[in-house]
Amino acid sequence: MALSKDLTAASAAPLVLSLLSRGDSYGYELIRAVRELSRDRIEWTEGMLYPVLHRMEEQELVESYWAVAESGRKRKYYRITKAGIAALRAQREEWVAVYAALSRAWRSANA
Amino acid sequence: MLDLETAILAWRARFRASNAFTAADIDELEAHLRDAIDAHVAAGRPLDEAFRLASERLGDTVALAPEFEAKNRATAWASRAAWSLAGALVASPLLRAVLGAPFASLRLGAAAGASDPGALGRAAWIGTWAAFAGALLVVAAIAWLLRRVEARRGSRALERGVFAVAIVFALLAWTGAFQPALEARFPASWSVDEMNAWYRGVSVLRRWEHFYAAPLAIAALGWALRARSRGPRPFWFAAGAVAMLAFEDLGALAYRVFLWARYGSASFAPDWELACRLSGFLVPVVGALGFLFALRRVGARSAWRRVECGRWLALAAAATSALGYALVHAPGPRATSGLGPQPAWAALVGEAIFASYVVALVALSTRAARAAKA
């Protein structure tokens, strides 16, 4: 089952930040990595991802640079900034809080 | 076998044709496309299938544009404005040449020693149509050249080419504005009878060639721009050009309507013509803005933008022509003179009639846009 549109949009920024905190990356690679991490449940489209990346760059959560890969191809890489790391920490707390609340709610509903 | 570089060039051209993407956006998407193609090829698919799958998966301009457009809104509007301006700049000197041709012919003939107003009028008729044919040829030749440039060097070269042409044409228009040869003025010694004889020589079209010329010029522009680069950029270029053509006409028509209603003749009133020219600058500019707004409403949906706008523009031009024809051939004395100087309120009435065209156009196009959405 694929993720709903709303949740895909809401989780895009924390996922991008999480992936970039493991190392610099580019659009194609990010889409592939998210597909793998989510076991095919989250399928980002390019039309969604690139505007999100560009907006995050405007907010200075990430920065970009062009580099030539080993294949000889020019690619636009993204790197997480200090502000991005701080934002990730804050978002992580939020997501954990939501997850914890939902878990407790469902546990008491089942009981 | 698919030539990948050519295919990617064509793929890029589609994105360039949309205002939603900046050059850096397209570079990034292209790198993405190439990665996706590599992955398909590595999975054992032939190159053409890999290209097809990768470009389908990436999405076309219509699917991708809204997201990017929101991000690039300011750039997109600047680009639209620039393309409209380029269109207006190219159209303006062509129009000036066609409008000035009868009088340029008159001066040439007089300089060559001819004095019979009828014969001079017939020469002016030929001169006007020669100027018009020349203008069409120039547009067609430039379009042909630009399309070759685009085919060889991509749409960014086309863009640079269009703007270079617009700048050259703007300089031409600037120079043309100060050419006494193109001024609508008769020899000072001529009587009203001689002026009328000259008009009879110019014959049925009675100098309003541009009413008839507009649809043809638009057809030429449409031919120039529709074939390859579909999308909003040629749309805005054509909109600028047409606004220039149509509103030069509509501005002139407003006074004809007024003359016809007030004096029973839509024909030429020599002593009024120059007074009308005073607002000759403001009227096309205001009109062009109204027309662009109308086109924007109609062209708001991308499907309309791509196909319907061309037909719509041609229809608008044809309607202008029909109105021009009807007025020129409206009942009433064929030449008016001795009306005295133009009263100040007449200019206001002319402007009001003109404004009503713009309001009607905006209202109609808003309705059409709503109908297209529903």
Residue B124 structure tokens: 């002016």
Q: How many CA atoms lie within 13 A of A56 on its CB side?
A: 27
Other CB atoms within 10 Å distance of the CB of residue B140: 14
Q: Kindly tell me if the per-residue pLDDT of B47 is higher than 50.
A: yes
Q: How many CA atoms lie within 13 A of B2 on its CB side?
A: 16
pLDDT of residue B203: 52
Q: Kindly tell me if the per-residue pLDDT of B260 is higher than 50.
A: yes
Q: Write a three-state SS string for A63-90.
A: EEEEEECCCCCEEEEEEECHHHHHHHHH
What spatial distance separates the first Cα and last Cα of chain B, rounded to whole Å?
Answer: 44
Q: How far is A97 from chain B (nearest CA, A)?
A: 30
In the beta sheet, which residues pair with residue A77?
Answer: A65
Please say whether the beta carbons of B128 and B98 come within 8 A.
Answer: yes
Q: Kindly tell me if the per-residue pLDDT of B277 is higher than 50.
A: no
Closest by Cβ to A27, choosing from B24, B32, B66:
B32
How large is the ipTM? Answer: 0.86
Farthest CA pair distance, chain B? 86
Report the predicted TM-score, pTM, of the whole model to 2 decimal places: 0.50
Closest by Cβ to B32, choosing from A28, A48, A55:
A28
Average per-residue pLDDT for chain B: 66
Residue A62 parent element (H or E): strand A62-68
Torsion on CA atoms B282, B286, B292, B293, rounded to nearest 10? 170
Q: How far is B321 from chain A (nearest CA, A)?
A: 44
With cut-offs at 50, 70 and 90, classify the pLDDT of residue B9.
confident
pLDDT tens-digit profile of A1-23? 678 888 888 899 999 999 999 99
pLDDT tens-digit profile of B98-107? 777 778 888 8
DSSP string, B238-294: HHHHHHHHHHHHHHHHHHHHHHHHHHS--S--HHHHHHHHHTTTHHHHHHHHHHHHH
Residues in CB range of B140: below 8 A, 6 or more apart:
B220, B223, B224
Residues in CB range of B226: below 8 A, 6 or more apart:
B234, B310
Neighboring chain A residues of B64 at a CB cutoff of 8 Å: 46-47
Neighbour-count burial for B233-255, b at 16+ CB within 10 Å, e otherwise: bbbbbbbbbbbbbbbbbbbbbbb
β-pair type (A62-68, A74-80): antiparallel
Instruction: Report the C-alpha gap between A19 and B198 in whole angstroms.
Output: 80
Torsion on CA atoms A78, A79, A80, A82, rounded to nearest 10? -140
Contact at CB, A51 and B68, closer than 8 angstroms: yes
Contact at CB, A50 and B28, closer than 8 angstroms: yes
For chain A, state the CA radius of gyration.
Answer: 16
Closest by Cβ to B32, choosing from A46, A48, A54:
A46
Q: How far is A46 from chain B (nearest CA, A)?
A: 6
The angle subtended at Cα B298 by Cα B142 and Cα B219, nearest 5°, is 30
